[in-house]
Structure 1
Amino acid sequence: MSDRLFGLYGAGGFGREVMPLARSQLGSGWRIVFVETQPHDAKVNGFPLLSEDDFFAAQASERCFAVAIADSHAREAIEKRCTQRGAHALSLSAHNATIYDDNRIGHGAILCAHTTITSNASIGCHFHANIYSYVAHDCVIGDYVTFAPRVSCNGNVHIGNHAYIGTGAMLRPGVPGGRPLTIGEGAIVGMGAVVIHDVEPHTTVVGSPARAITRR
């Protein structure tokens, strides 16, 4: 049995979708487990489910993790705990995810099936891109940003830390070589929204065209 240990935080719906990416990417050279703070079962989809303390108590020559939890602040807190205890964040990418030229993608990213990062994008740590989402050229995306399925993020869009972009949302491109479309830190873009104007930080927008409904 390998003494390299990988833990995927979150055994809910998204975690169960992401685990096959880890299995395919890591192969037989790793022990692979789910991790939750309060495990509800011994196994999930055939993989052991450990508490965080048991994950760190297990003997391992190398210990890595990824976080398949939608709550971006939970992702940040888990990353801090794990790195303090000596584990390293690992990025996961589906075999049919596409990444083109001159992109910078931070650690801990999860790129699900049929996602695309085109060219010259800069993406922070622990980015989630769910199925069929894309990031186009010259986008700048902060840390702990979440794309739900089928997000269309067109060129020259800037997205702040902890923003959440809902299923099927479309973000118009910024001005080529000029002013980007900006989604502020902690903003939420609702399902199916069409964003044609900047979104203020900590604001929720919905509809087509997207309009603010609340500030948090």
Structure 2
Amino acid sequence: MKRKKLILIGGGGHCKSCIDVIEQNNQFDIMGILDHENLFGTDVLGYKVIGSDIDIPKYVNLSYSFMIAVGQIRSSTVRQRVFNELSKYNADIATIVSPRAYVSKHAVIGRGTIIMHNVIVNSSAIVGANCILNTGSNIEHDTVIGNHSHISTFAVINGDCKIGEGVFIGSNATISNNIHLGNNIVIGTGSVVVKNIKAQGVYVGNPALKLKI
């Protein structure tokens, strides 16, 4: 099968993790990275920064695919903006799955999502567009994850959960069975969620409570 030519958008730390997965995925040739002008000519793991967001139309016209390699900690705003920009040009936004991940044949994975090493996505789970399922995270049966969400390293989302859009779930956090989380919620590292959460905010602890900022 012919490998597709791929442009990465964002050249930070998350980009390095994406590159490692893409190289092992063996479906894409990385042609370069788009980032800020002051980074032009620099490289990330041997791949050059060759332009910025304004160059997206040029590479769309060349029929290149794209991967959003911008990370997400407190907000998905940048990832959403880039995703919408790519969609405006009808760009091919790649969905990438590590060969070291397990994704059930009965699961659904959205456009532009990346699934990192040692992730588990179990039967009848639905993962939205432009999500990050980071290293070692576990998405159990019948769980739905909204667009633009980031499930961080070794987080566990148990069965029948509904996770909103733009949600960040921190490393080693646990979401109990049948929990519903609203949009743009942040769950802190190691936190345990045992009740539904609707209001936006940062939630930490065991059980997870809203952090007063």
| Same fold, judged at TM 0.5 (above) | yes
Residue 194 of structure 2: aligned partner: 196
Q: Is the 8 A contact 1:23 1:32 kept in 2?
A: no
- 2: CA distance between counterparts of 1:204 and 1:21? 30
Which consecutive unaligned segments of at least 5 residues does structure 2 have? none
Is 1:11 matched up with 2:11?
Answer: yes
Q: Is the 8 A contact 2:30 2:47 kept in 1?
A: no
CA displacement 1:12-48 (0-9 Å, x = unmatched) = 1111111122223345x63521221435141221112
TM-aligned CA deviation for residue 103 of structure 1: 1.1
CA displacement 1:127-184 (0-9 Å, x = unmatched) = 101110010001011100111111111101110000110111001112xxxxxx1111
Distance 1:110 1:31, change over 3 A: closer
- 2: CA distance between counterparts of 1:58 and 1:193? 41
Deviation beyond 6 Å, 4+ runs, structure 1:
none
Residue 178 of structure 1: aligned partner: none
Quote the sequence identity (%): 21
The amino acid across from 2:128 in the alignment is: G
Which consecutive unaligned segments of at least 5 residues does structure 1 have? 175-180
Q: Is the 8 A contact 1:91 1:110 kept in 2?
A: yes
Any idea what SS the aligned residue of 1:30 has? strand
Any idea what SS the aligned residue of 2:203 has? strand
- 1: CA distance between counterparts of 2:61 and 2:39? 24
What's the C-alpha RMSD, in Å, of the aligned pairs?
Answer: 2.2
**Which TM-score applies when normalising by structure 2?**
0.88
Residue 52 of structure 1: aligned partner: 53
Is 1:144 matched up with 2:144?
Answer: no
CA displacement 1:67-110 (0-9 Å, x = unmatched) = 12214121111012122234211011111010113111110011
- 1: CA distance between counterparts of 2:181 and 2:3? 42
Q: Is the 8 A contact 2:9 2:33 kept in 1?
A: yes
Which of these residues, 86, 89, 105, is aligned with residue 82 of structure 1? 86
Q: Is the 8 A contact 1:3 1:60 kept in 2?
A: no
TM-aligned CA deviation for residue 58 of structure 1: 5.0
**Which TM-score applies when normalising by structure 1?**
0.87
Which of these residues, 147, 162, 167, is aligned with residue 163 of structure 1? 167
